[in-house]
C-alpha cells in the first residue's frame, strides 16, 4: 500500500457552479469555501500531513475586479474567523506565492502563519498569487546568485515548497485536464486524478475514493 503524506488540489469549477445554480460566479466561490472546510476535515480524519490548495494563481489577476475583490474578501473573512480555530486543531497554515495584497490581508496572513507555525497535525499550504514558472525562475536566480552547483537537490532548496515533500496526489476538479502553472516541478511523479465534479460539489466521499484508489496504484518512478 502506498504511503500518503501530501495531497495537492486545483479547486476548479466554482464559477460554473454559481452560474449552473442560477446564482453568480461569486456565489460559486462562497460555496467553494464550504468544500475547503470539508476537505480539511477529511484530511485530518485520514491523517494526511500536507494539503496544498490552489486558491489564486498569478494568472487569476486577469479576472474582473469585482470577482478578485470578492475572493480576497472571502479569504479575509475566513482568516479573521478561523485562524484561532485552525490553531486549536493543531493545523499549520503556510502561504506559497508572492504575498503582496492589501495591508489588511497581508497582516491576517502574517498573523495566521506565525500563530500556527509550530503546529503538527496538518499543514495547509495555501497557494496564493502563486505561479510555478515564476517560482522556478526565482529559485534559479537565487541559486546562481549564491554560486551553488546547479542540480536537483540544490534547486529544490530555493523553491517555496522547500520543506514540504512532493505531492503524492494531485486532484483537479471541474472536468478540465491541465496543470495551470501549478507545482510543475513538484508534481513530476505525483498520481493525478481529474475529477468531473465542480469544486463546490466535491465532497469527503469523493476525496476518500481517490485516496483509496491511490493506495493501490503501482508507483514506478520510471522503473518497472
52 makes contact with ligand FPP (CB under 6 A): no
CB 179 within 8 A of CB 187: yes
Backbone torsions φ then ψ of 123, nearest 5 degrees: -105, 120
Active site residues: 12, 60
Site for ligand FPP in 95-154 (CB under 6 A): 126
What CA–CA distance (Å, rounded) separates 28 from 200? 7
Is residue 7 within the footprint of ligand FPP (CB under 6 A)? no
- Asked if 15 interacts with ligand FPP (CB under 6 A), we say yes
- Binding residue (CB under 6 A) for ligand FPP from 97, 131, 167, 174: 174
Judged by CB under 6 A, the residue of 5, 38, 60, 134 near ligand FPP is: 60
DSSP letter assigned to residue 89: T
Helix (H, G, I), strand (E, B) or coil at 1: coil
- For ligand FPP (CB under 6 A), the number of binding residues is 20
Range 160-184 burial, b when 16+ CB lie within 10 A, else e: bbeebebbbbbbbbbeeeeeebbbe
Of 16 and 98, nearer to ligand FPP (C-beta) is 16
Residue among 8, 11, 51, 139 that touches ligand FPP (CB under 6 A): 11
Query: From the list 6, 9, 12, 58, which residue makes contact with ligand FPP (rule: CB under 6 A)?
Result: 12
Q: Could you give the angle at which helices 65-88 and 25-45 cross, rounded to 10 degrees?
A: 20
Separation CA 34–CA 11 (nearest Å): 12
The distance of closest approach from Cβ of residue 150 to ligand FPP in the complex, given in angstroms and rounded to an integer, is 33
By CB under 6 A, name the binding residues for ligand FPP: 11-16, 29, 32-33, 36, 53, 55, 60, 71, 74-75, 78, 126, 174, 199
Amino acid at each position: 500500500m502506498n504511503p500518503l503524506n501530501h495531497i495537492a488540489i486545483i479547486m476548479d469549477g466554482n464559477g460554473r457552479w454559481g452560474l449552473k445554480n442560477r446564482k453568480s460566479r461569486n456565489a460559486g466561490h462562497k460555496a467553494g469555501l464550504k468544500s475547503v472546510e470539508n476537505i480539511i476535515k477529511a484530511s485530518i480524519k485520514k491523517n494526511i500531513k500536507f494539503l496544498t490548495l490552489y486558491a489564486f494563481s498569478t494568472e487569476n489577476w486577469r479576472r474582473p475586479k469585482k470577482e478578485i475583490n470578492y475572493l480576497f474578501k472571502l479569504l479575509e473573512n475566513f482568516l479573521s474567523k478561523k485562524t484561532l480555530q485552525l490553531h486549536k486543531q493543531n493545523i499549520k497554515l503556510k502561504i506559497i506565492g508572492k504575498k503582496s495584497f492589501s495591508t489588511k490581508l497581508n497582516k491576517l496572513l502574517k498573523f495566521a502563519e506565525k500563530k500556527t507555525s509550530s503546529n503538527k497535525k496538518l499543514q495547509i499550504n495555501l497557494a496564493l498569487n502563486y505561479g510555478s514558472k515564476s517560482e522556478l525562475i526565482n529559485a534559479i536566480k537565487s541559486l546562481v546568485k549564491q554560486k551553488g552547483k546547479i542540480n536537483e537537490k540544490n534547486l529544490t532548496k530555493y523553491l517555496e515548497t522547500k520543506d514540504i515533500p512532493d505531492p503524492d496526489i494531485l486532484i483537479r476538479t471541474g472536468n478540465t485536464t491541465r496543470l495551470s502553472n501549478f507545482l510543475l516541478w513538484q508534481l513530476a511523479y505525483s498520481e493525478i486524478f481529474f475529477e468531473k465534479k465542480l469544486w463546490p460539489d466535491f465532497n469527503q466521499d469523493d476525496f476518500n475514493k481517490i485516496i483509496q484508489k491511490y493506495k493501490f496504484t503501482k508507483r514506478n518512478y520510471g522503473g518497472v
